[in-house]
Structure 1
Amino acid sequence: MSADSRHSVSVAGVIVDDQGRALLIQRRDNGHWEVPGGVLERNEDIISGLRREVQEETGLEVTPIALTGVYKNMPRGIVALVFRCKVESDSLRESDESSGFRWVTADEVAELAHEAFAIRVQDALVTQSTVLIRAHDGTRLLG
């Protein structure tokens, strides 16, 4: 398999509070608002990687409730698995990767985040039994 045919797998947690809002982090590297998450390490399982990434970026311990979407960044070859999560221990704190936090509604996320990342929150906030599958270019949805 050539390096060009390989994909990277990332995980992200849409943490939902009792008011139906989702937690966004402001990324320290680029200032963008997104849900916490990141690339899985080769030797870790999906749920452990999700919990690790969320804890590193927010200080929170979470439990995934449901896989809500699979998203592919077509130019970069990154497949993201997005989970709706609930907080198990509340110790929200900034990190080397996050510089701020904001609880947002489905409408508010569209004003703060690029479409390709806002849709992940909007999909996770909708009660559904089907996992949504979408492609994007890093900013906008495709197709």
Structure 2
Amino acid sequence: MTDHCAAVHRVLHAELGPTPPQAATDPALLPIFDISARHEVTNLDMVHRVVTALGLDPAEWIERIPDRPNHDRRYLINPEKAETRLGRRPVHDFDSAPAETVGWYVEHRAWWERILEEKGELGFDWGAVSPATRGH
């Protein structure tokens, strides 16, 4: 979580300059950056890590269900642009990061429970934010 937040912070505060007109036909010129730890794991592996970090038995808490039609078999993110243009690379050990993230949410339970109680969900509707308050 710390690496991801640091990467988002770096993107938000980068001196990127104006977007060139050529970006209309070359999306690589847009100020869009993929963020990745360059550590590929399956969804099932990640679920095992989260359930284990919660102190639970994956065999009791993970239920296999059939894939949905046209299910993506792999998600691949190439962070090369963020690494070369912004000098951003992960610095934390990926193997311990999921447990640390789960621990943060366990320790800050009151924070997310309050959001859940007030909004009924943990999602954030970016469309509901006025343009004047974005980025502040």
Query: With structure 1 as the length reference, what TM-score do the two structures score?
Result: 0.25
